[in-house]
Amino acid sequence: MKIVFMGTPDFALATLQKLVASGHEVQAVVTQPDRPKGRGRELAPSPVKQFAEQSGIDVLQPEKASHPEFVETLGRLRPDLIVVVAYGQILKKSVLAIPRLFCLNLHSSLLPKYRGAAPINWALIHGEKETGVTTIKMDEGMDSGDILLAKKVSIEDADNAQSLHDKLAKEGALLVLDTIRKLEQGSLTPVPQDPGQVTLAPKLKKEDGLIAWEKDAENLRNRVRGLEPWPGAYTFYQSRRLRLCEVETAPGEAGDHPGAVARITDHGIEVGTGNGRLIITRLQPEGKNRMSAKSFLAGHKIQKGSLFASSPASCLSKTT
């Protein structure tokens, strides 16, 4: 098949690599314009662009995919199929109408659950034990097209957003190839999504990482793993932001207070919550590198009763 690929981040890269290796003709790659990155804020190409250029594939980077000049350029390619994976823009009807067949999208959830920009994160935050990848026949809505194929993926207890991302990227690439194979065989049957089962996974904000200690420990653990590595879960200690990178849970005891240090060991800092304790085993102080709780304690005099808080103003040195 003649295929145009639209994608931008690492999640999309796995699918592009599989398509290039599969023997299909990838006519062009469409990706987001280079964006400032790093401390120097220098323009950096997307992972998809880097691979496409290394593979000798033409790269298109429109600021808006709906721009008439871009739509005309894309139309001249006369692709059989446009494959879209984490491109970063909602496609308008003018683009959806270009391929001979349709635009195929890979989404990192079991649709219709978790439509939106951050399905991997929200599945973890909500404590799901299972998620997956889905290919759909795109329409003008957000992740609302008819389902083509889906593959379930278990969420392991040790998974965070990065590890789950990597698993879903791999499974998603295979699912796209399987979808195209079945499309060529004429064995695909698109199935409309059930509107009654729709849930949303909106784009994450940094504020989503704020730890509310009055919630139960398991809820907080899921938030930490769902926001790792970005935007990161955080709290405040002595008016300074403290990022929580790895945590565990333990049963609470009488006298525990939400946000108050209940016990300190070489393994971690046990903090009271609304129900149970959250054990901080790895963290990152503001302006510092990540470190184990033991290393952090070597340079900070935290005692039983010390308070972690939801804002700098509410930080106290110790509970009474």
Comparing CA positions, the residue from 62, 60, 69, 56 lying closest to residue 25 is: 56
Q: Give residue-wise pLDDT tens across range 277-309.
A: 999 999 999 999 999 999 999 998 899 999 999
- In angstroms, rounded to a whole number, what is the distance separating the alpha carbons of residues 217 and 234? 14
Q: Give residue-wise pLDDT tens across range 65-75.
A: 999 999 999 99
pTM for the whole thing?
0.94
Comparing CA positions, the residue from 37, 42, 68, 65 lying closest to residue 29 is: 65
Average pLDDT over residues 146-170: 98
Percent of the chain with pLDDT over 90: 92
Residue 104: Cβ-neighbour burial (10 angstroms; 0-12, 13-18, 19+): buried
287: which residues sit within 8 A by CB, 6+ positions away? none
pLDDT greater than 90 at residue 310: no
Percent of the chain with pLDDT over 70: 98
Give ∠ CA 293-297-299 in degrees, rounded to 5. Answer: 130
Q: What is the per-residue pLDDT for 320?
A: 43
Alpha helices for 55-194 (secondary structure H): 68-77, 93-96, 119-125, 161-185
Across the chain, mean pLDDT equals: 95
Which domains, from first to last, does the chain contain?
A: 2-197 (3.40.50.170), 206-314 (3.10.25.10)
